[in-house]
Amino acid sequence: MNTQLPVLVVLIPLLIAPLIVLVRNPTAAWALFGAAAVSSFALAVQCLLLVQEQGLLQAFLGGWEPPFGIEYRIDLANAIVLCLVSGIALLVTPMAKASIEREISEPRIYLFYACLTLCLTGLLGMAATGDAFNVFVFLEISSLSGYALIAMGNSRRALLASFRYLVMGTVGGTFFLTGVGLLYALTGTLNMADLAGSLTMGFDSRVLIAAAAFIVVGLSIKIALFPVHAWLPAAYAEAPSAVTAFMAATATKVAAYVLLRFAATVIGPVVVFATLPIGTALVWLACIAMVAGSIAAIYQTDFKRLLAWSSLAQIGYIVLGIGLGTDAGASAALTHMVNHGVIKCGLFVIAGVLVWRHGQATVANFAGMPQQSPWLFAAFVIGALGLIGVPGTGGFISKWVLLQALIAESAWVAVAAVLVSSLLAVIYCWRVVEIAWFGDSDASQPPAAASRTPVGATLSLAMLSGLVVYLGVHSSWLVELTAQAGADLFGVGR
Amino acid sequence: MNVVIVALAIPLLTALAVAFAGRSPALRNAVTLIGGGLLAVVVFGAWPTVIGGDRPTWEAWAILPGIELLFVLEPLGLLYASVAAGLWPITSVYAAGYLEGAGEKHRTRFFVCFALAIFAAMGIALAGNLVTLFLFYEVLTLSTWPLVTHKGTAEARRGGRIYLGILITTSVGLLLPAIVWAGLLAGTTEFRAGGILTGKASPAVLAVLYALFLFGLGKAALMPFHRWLPAAMVAPTPVSALLHAVAVVKAGVFAVLKVSVMIFGLDNLDQTDASEIMQWVAGFTILMASIIALQQDNLKARLAYSTISQLSYIVLGATMATSLAAQGAGLHIVMHALGKITLFFCAGAIYVAHHKTLVSELDGLGRKMPWTFAAFGLASLSIIGIPPLGGTWSKWWLTLGALEAEQYWIVATLAISSLLNIAYLLPIVARGFLRPSAEPPHAGAPQDHGHHDGEAAATMVAPLMLTAVGCLAAFVLAEPAIRLLQGAIP
């Protein structure tokens, strides 16, 4: 069906960004970002409902029909991603206000929100577009605004973190662009559906193999897959808390979605999973990421860094699902994108509250805090249980779907890696819980005055924690949705 | 209204009410007692229905496609639920006395977690499929962790770490893949009479899967995954009594029994010999744990190893794959619960009244605490399996099952274990009554915490007398439980 709905999802935040620069008032800027999030979320949900009803949404920009013009093409997989990205933006909004006022000097706040809105635009665009070059354009929009956002962190280390991300991210973007260029040289088209149709012949083409390799490596950097993950922990730890909460839940997920899209449809499973050992390589790298990321998380003293390393491990679960090259694997990857997005966003919001109170979030200082703010730490426990994958949280659902996909493929090493990573998650999460509840509290801390939680953050956290539990006990709709999305991607009838 | 929903709601609401009543100890105790009493009434009230063949069911909603949050009240679950629900109010009285006497802090947290643990136990008892069971199994682990680390000392934290470490490792590392695998093989995770795996996999795969389930249900404390139970003994004694002698450990063996009967199916296990290896593991655990118990001087540690040994009776009964043995296993859930909770109550009373934790310190104490030591003796006899006490029946049934299966080494194992039980339990009673008192009575010395030099407070002695009498009563009144089990395991 031809409709302009998919375009509007991306266009509204794109137009709001310059508007924010014009109004300049911090509160108005925040409200405008919220408006962008609300409208894209509403439209994304509308897209999802329409896709469920009608199968496919297509929008031709300027009326130029594909493959000549840019096409926005929404099926179940990217409808889910659109909902996730805009939904997370919406959930972060209440928390962002107080947190940003504390962490960023007032004259720059409007620029911050402008960048954040652009970043949102870029991520939504990457998910919505059906044009390979357009993916690159939006990738760069989200990345460039992302570099600026990270650099706004309040310590000087943020600049270094941002620079490292800039270098790595640019390399990644360039790789991706090179790959797309090769595909264009090979087929003369940039439309993703058209590419998928044109590439069905000539599997032994060296150009195609090079293109696949460039695209996978380029995207791996944006996903922060081991061993090209080094930019992520510093970037997440130094960025303003609201940025981390938003980007941790969305940026790597969207890149993973693009990888899934290229592997499953554009380049095609035959090349990616049969001719080339890309699937196998992704599975192994994901396994290493899951285990190594969790081990590194155990040794972190800074709460945000701990969560960042945990993210690297959790990204492994997503890539593992993609690397399997089956519809069940794709379903597991999409399920975990949603669940991990919600869980990790909540945890970074908690980190944001702690930074807002104390200026930093060092695990060793958590001792005695649960007595002063029981709800905040209850939310932490819910998030931690989600990371571990305890039943009753969304993390369990992800793990269930992923294990089913792995056992069906008899991928026993990966099964073991998933389980080991879960057990390591117990260690890094429970270390924090133990220090918080049973550690010797530091008397030098100012207690009562600093135990407030901003109203907005409370609102964000309540919704996110509620979602984690809700997705853990009532998830059949989500799993059915992702299963259908996976089946559509791989062209399997269900 | 659906009895299933009520049985789940009562402990959950109790937990909430206790949390809000936290300021006032009297109100808190009253709420816990009322909740416990109501739950016992509801659960025992369901007996006629279930014996009559009804299976109250609550299908809440779909967690995953094809997998509901499903609760079914069937005989096995009712038996476990009755044990947990029946002993909860008694333990609540005891716990109030104990926490007062031992001067423990954070009592609101204690009672909230306690009620949550009972909520989880009800969920496990009523679970209609493996996923629901797993959900509540983990709730039980997590809600009991703050109880184990209750004191907050370095030792308690270390104990808590081992507790959580082993239970989560086994459940996530072994049980979760086992459930996913079983679900893939059978196409369902529901508990059904006769099992769901018959003919779905080769005997070798079934044997591996069975081992994954039994070790994965770490709360059954099969060696080598038993270390969490002695570690959990750092908890206040009411926790050890109700949770680590009854609700938590019985959740493990109950799940083992239920998985054997209603996932694998006894006939299937019998024909494929899938459970044979685990029989040996259970037999080994019975003897090994008894031998370790002999060497423990710490009273609670000795009781803990005794529990490990007794739990494997139930596992052994399930793995024998005959109806009689499985019925014996079910019966042993009840009988051991009554006996072991009494023993722990006594250990707690001794600690509160005299601050003694070692067996070697108990000389002559029986003359000061005659009721407590008499109860200890009765419960010991029940654990050993001497008539006229409840423990007789379960050992009788288990032995019958072993004879029916012509597994004579199991008969020998049970006999040797009974002798070992005598060797590690009865000397405690003998010390108390027969040996001369170790320390001279210090006349006129200031009495700490206002303890008199005899029995513990009545709120502690009354519960332990009650459960000791329960051991006696169980011998006479075992018939409904046996009828219930015969209905569950034909």
Any idea which residue has 């962002």 for tokens?
A96
* Mean pLDDT computed over B453-480: 82
Interface-testing mutation among B70, B110, B138, B143, with chain A (most A C-beta atoms within 10 A): B138
A246 and A210 Cβ atoms separated by less than 8 Å: no
HSE-CB at B378 with a 13 A cutoff on CA atoms is 27
B129 contacts chain A (CB < 8 A): no
pLDDT tens by residue, A347-391: 999 998 888 888 888 888 888 787 788 888 889 999 999 999 888
Residue A338 distance to chain B (closest CA, Å): 15
Put simply, the answer to whether B180 touches A389 (Cβ < 8 Å) is: no
- A415 contact residues in B (CB cutoff 8 A): 177
CA-nearest residue to B155 within chain A is: A438
Q: Within a domain: residue A337?
A: yes
* Mean pLDDT computed over A258-287: 89
- B163 contact residues in A (CB cutoff 8 A): none
- pLDDT for the residue A188: 86
**SS3 readout for A234-287:** HHHHHCCHHHHHHHHHHHHHHHHHHHHHHHHHHCCHHHHHHHCCHHHHHHHHHH
> Could you tell me the residue range of the domain that residue A272 belongs to?
5-489
Distance between CA B449 and CA B443 in Å, rounded?
Answer: 17
Q: Name the phi and psi angles at B150, rounded to 5.
A: -50, -45
Q: Which of B150, B169, B85 is nearest to B124 (CA)?
A: B85
A479 contacts chain B (CB < 8 A): yes
pLDDT tens by residue, B143-161: 888 888 888 788 888 888 8
Q: Within a domain: residue A308?
A: yes
Q: Which residue has the higher pLDDT, B152 or A111?
A: A111
- pLDDT for the residue B442: 53
Q: Within a domain: residue A494?
A: no
3 state SS of A95? helix
Q: Which residues, numbered 402 to 461 in chain A, qualify as contacts with chain B under a Cβ-Cβ cut-off of 8 Å?
A: 403-404, 407-408, 415, 419-420, 422-423, 426, 430, 434, 437-438
- B160 contact residues in A (CB cutoff 8 A): 434
- A391 contact residues in B (CB cutoff 8 A): 131, 134-135, 138
Put simply, the answer to whether B176 touches A438 (Cβ < 8 Å) is: no
A473 contacts chain B (CB < 8 A): yes
B181 closest CB neighbour out of A389, A401, A407: A407
Put simply, the answer to whether B149 touches A438 (Cβ < 8 Å) is: yes
CA-nearest residue to A410 within chain B is: B181
Q: Which of A43, A28, A54 is nearest to A89 (CA)?
A: A43
CA-nearest residue to B146 within chain A is: A437
Task: Compute how many other C-beta atoms are within 10 angstroms of the C-beta atom of residue B229.
Answer: 29
A476 contacts chain B (CB < 8 A): yes
Put simply, the answer to whether A475 touches B63 (Cβ < 8 Å) is: yes
Integer angstrom CA distances of residue B84 from B39, B208, B221: 10, 31, 18
- pLDDT for the residue A443: 52
CA-nearest residue to B162 within chain A is: A427
B172 closest CB neighbour out of A401, A407, A419: A419
* Mean pLDDT computed over A312-341: 93
Judged on CB neighbours under 10 Å (0-12, 13-18, 19+), A471 is: buried
**Mean of the per-residue pLDDT values for chain A?**
89
Any idea which residue has 């008894």 for tokens?
B290
- B108 contact residues in A (CB cutoff 8 A): none
The complex's ipTM works out to 0.81
Integer angstrom CA distances of residue B278 from B76, B204, B275: 21, 13, 5
Residue A104 distance to chain B (closest CA, Å): 39
- A392 contact residues in B (CB cutoff 8 A): 135, 138-139
* Mean pLDDT computed over B428-445: 69
- pLDDT for the residue B109: 82
Distance between CA B20 and CA B14 in Å, rounded?
Answer: 10
Respond yes or no on whether the N-terminal peptide bond of residue B388 is cis (omega within 30° of 0): yes
pLDDT level of residue B443 (50, 70, 90 thresholds) = very low
- pLDDT for the residue A493: 57
CA-nearest residue to B135 within chain A is: A391
Distance between CA B206 and CA B200 in Å, rounded?
Answer: 9
Give the pair of three-digit tokens for residue B488.
């569950």
Q: Within a domain: residue A138?
A: yes
Any idea which residue has 């996110």 for tokens?
A464
Amino acid identity, position A327: D
**SS3 readout for A94-143:** HHHHHHHHHHCCHHHHHHHHHHHHHHHHHHHHHHHECEHHHHHHHHHHHH
pTM to 2 decimal places: 0.86
A389 contacts chain B (CB < 8 A): yes
Put simply, the answer to whether A397 touches B131 (Cβ < 8 Å) is: no
- pLDDT for the residue B66: 80
Task: Compute how many other C-beta atoms are within 10 angstroms of the C-beta atom of residue A206.
Answer: 9
pLDDT tens by residue, A237-250: 889 999 999 999 99
Q: Within a domain: residue A59?
A: yes
Distance between CA A334 and CA B478 in Å, rounded?
Answer: 54
Residue A212 distance to chain B (closest CA, Å): 34
Residue A65 distance to chain B (closest CA, Å): 39
* Mean pLDDT computed over B153-182: 87
**Kindly report the CA angle at B176 between B121 and B247, in degrees rounded to 5?**
15
Task: Assess whether pLDDT exceeds 90 at residue A116.
Answer: yes
Q: Within a domain: residue A14?
A: yes
- A413 contact residues in B (CB cutoff 8 A): none
Distance between CA B338 and CA B350 in Å, rounded?
Answer: 19
Q: How many domains does chain A have?
A: 1
- B149 contact residues in A (CB cutoff 8 A): 434, 437-438
Interface-testing mutation among B168, B189, B209, with chain A (most A C-beta atoms within 10 A): B168
Task: Compute how many other C-beta atoms are within 10 angstroms of the C-beta atom of residue B80.
Answer: 29
- A370 contact residues in B (CB cutoff 8 A): none
Put simply, the answer to whether B138 touches A391 (Cβ < 8 Å) is: yes
